Structures are given as structure tokens and as C-alpha cells.
Amino acid sequence: MVGRDKKLGICPLCERRCQLSLHHLIPRKLHRRTYYRKHFSREQLNEGVLICRQCHNGIHRVYDEMTLAKQFASLDALRADPGLQRHFAWVARQKIRI
């Protein structure tokens, strides 16, 4: 059974079919900061992409929240980063954990 917050699908980063979780493009930790409240709508702050847990963990292991918000606030930016590309390629070769 798939949990409420998880969906089955293709991860856009590693291209595996597995359970996906929501990755906020602007991390939730920053939503309460004045700069983000003034410059982004609630809809923009809540935008995210569904990715697998291994890709999600790797993104947060490599970059802190502020860097993610400033430099990686789109799926294309995440895909273009060389360090993350190596991680996504590694994840693509891993067995899917359920």
C-alpha cells in the first residue's frame, strides 16, 4: 500500500519507477522568512516536484536549504548540476527499496 504522501511513478531525476515524494523547490524551512514571503506567492513557495527518496536525500545531503532556494529552484537546475548528476546516475543503478 502506498502512503498518502507518496505516489508511484517515474522519478524525473534517476528515471526509475518507484514511490515518489514531494521536493519543495524552495525549501519549507525558508517559507517563513520575510524575503521569501515578500517576493514569492504562496503558490510559488509550495511548488515542488515528485522525486524518489534516494534522489531527494542526495539533494539535501549535498546542498543546504539556502543554496537550494537561491540556485536550484527548478527541476532543470537540479538536473544541470554536475555533482547531482553523478548522484542521480548512481541512484539509477540502485535496487528500488520499498
Can you tell me the distance from the alpha carbon of 38 to that of 53, in angstroms, rounded to the nearest whole number?
31
Per-residue pLDDT tens digits of the chain, which is 98 residues long: 344 556 899 999 999 999 999 999 999 999 999 999 999 999 999 999 999 999 999 999 999 999 999 999 999 999 999 999 999 999 999 988 66
The per-residue pLDDT for 98 is: 64
Residue 1 lies in a domain: no
**Residue 98 within any structural domain of the chain:** no
Which domain range does residue 81 map to? Answer: 7-92
Query: How many domains are contained in the chain?
Result: 1
pLDDT score recorded for residue 95: 86
Q: Is residue 97 a part of any domain in this protein?
A: no
Residue 46 lies in a domain: yes
- Render the burial of 52-89: b for 16+ CB within 10 Å, e for the rest: bbbbbebbeeebeeeebbeebbeeeebeebeebeebbe
**What's the pLDDT score for residue 96?**
82
What integer pLDDT is reported at residue 2 of this predicted model?
A: 44
In a domain, 55, yes or no: yes
Residue with grid cell 513557495, as numbered in its chain: 45
